[in-house]
Amino acid sequence: MTNSIKKTPEYSTVFTSYFSSLKDPRRTNKGNFYYPLQEILFLTISAVISGADGWVSISQFGESKLSWLRKYYPYENGIPSHDVLGKLFARLNHKEFTRCFTNWIASISHFTNGEVVAVDGKSIRKSNDQSTGESALHVVSAYAAENRLCLGQQVVGQKSNEITAIPELLKILDIKGCIVTIDAMGCQKKIAADIVKKKADYLLMVKDNQKELKQQVEKMFIRGAITDTNKQIDAGHGRVENRVCDVIDELCFMDEKEQWKNLKSIVMIQSERCNKQTGETSKQTRYYISSLPADAEKMNKAIRQHWSIENNLHWELDVIFKEDDSLKKKGESPKNFNVILKMAMTLLNNEKLGKLSKPTKRLKAALDDKFRTKILKG
């Protein structure tokens, strides 16, 4: 059976152009299914931005908003049950879904030169499946700090780690002119070379997983002349942090320098945090290597912005969208729902009129059809 899809200009770009290539895993030779994939995708994202957090609540949202949904798609057979939704997303090809998501994000991204793209991983704690012995899902994401956009993601294989996942993620990203920041796990020669190949710069944390490199960098800051220095002070969340960024770009005495593609500078961050309430202080020294020329102010800012992937993307997935409490375990469900949450987060971020928090936006989207339509136009 063939269903005609009713289109309107505001949805044709997102839900038709960028997701139309998705193959329906239920499709048979006869094509006899009651709920077209495009209708299910539209229902799901509409429900999630309106506060739904699972298949049952998505289905209930659809039942209560059927007349509104039919303004955009026929829904000739009504709303699918939670079982239908769960089975579909468990079978939907995650790689194809992620590719569609990445292409859509690329179409709405407008980078400034030198935008920080932070790369980091997050485990979805309750996604482990004891029946199959699979551990919790771990996803590596790339996050544009200024645009507040998740640019793409790569699932880490059960017998793999972030070192193998990051190069795969970089392959699908358009990061020309950006500064890619990664913690110590990503401090690998291949990853540095892959970033340069994408015509971007890298700023990689150095720790004991690259023990010889770290020792060399430490010695350089003991013996070498500092090229540039920058000091910054941040206050918030009941603390004050002083950060001093020192940069050296004279690396002729640094061993193995040529093995790191386009290595131009090394960075030392010395931070001191003071708890306003208790008066307790803590100090930390961190080291980085970079393909950027010495610019302490720029590097100090970029390193600070790296943590936006934790403070914005990962925190919001956990606290606002309650991803870690999700019990979706079957098949591709946890992977695909992670993509759906990031789609919803992007649309909510793009709604910039007023200063509503995301929880308030989700509540308003649940109650106000016009506001929900406005968000979906993003």
**H/E stretch holding 286:** strand 281-290
Integer-rounded Cα Rg, in Å, for the chain is 23
Give the span between the Cα atoms of 129 and 136, in whole angstroms: 7
Reported confidence tier of residue 21, pLDDT bands at 50, 70, 90: confident
Quick check: 178 pLDDT over 90? Answer: yes
- What pLDDT was estimated at residue 181? 97
CATH 3.40.50.2300 fits 98-316, yes or no: no
Quick check: 17 pLDDT over 80? Answer: no
DSSP structure string for 99-154: HHHHHHHHHH--PPTT-EEEEEEEEEGGG-BTTTTBPPEEEEEEEETTTTEEEEEE
Reported confidence tier of residue 4, pLDDT bands at 50, 70, 90: very low
- What pLDDT was estimated at residue 132? 56
Every domain of the chain with CATH number 3.90.350.10 lies at 98-316
- What pLDDT was estimated at residue 318? 87
Quick check: 314 pLDDT over 50? Answer: yes
Task: Look at 12 and 157; give whichever has higher pLDDT.
Answer: 157
Residue type, 102: T
Give the span between the Cα atoms of 208 and 215, in whole angstroms: 9
What does the mean pLDDT of the chain come to? 87
pLDDT in tens, 317-359: 888 888 766 656 678 888 899 999 999 999 998 888 778 899 9
Quick check: 6 pLDDT over 60? Answer: no
Cβ–Cβ under 8 Å, residues 349 and 148: yes
Instruction: Give mean pLDDT, residues 209-213.
Output: 92
Cβ–Cβ under 8 Å, residues 49 and 372: yes
pTM of the predicted model, to two decimals?
0.86
Closest CA to 145 of 114, 115, 169: 115
How large a percentage of the chain has pLDDT more than 90?
Answer: 61
- What pLDDT was estimated at residue 256? 80
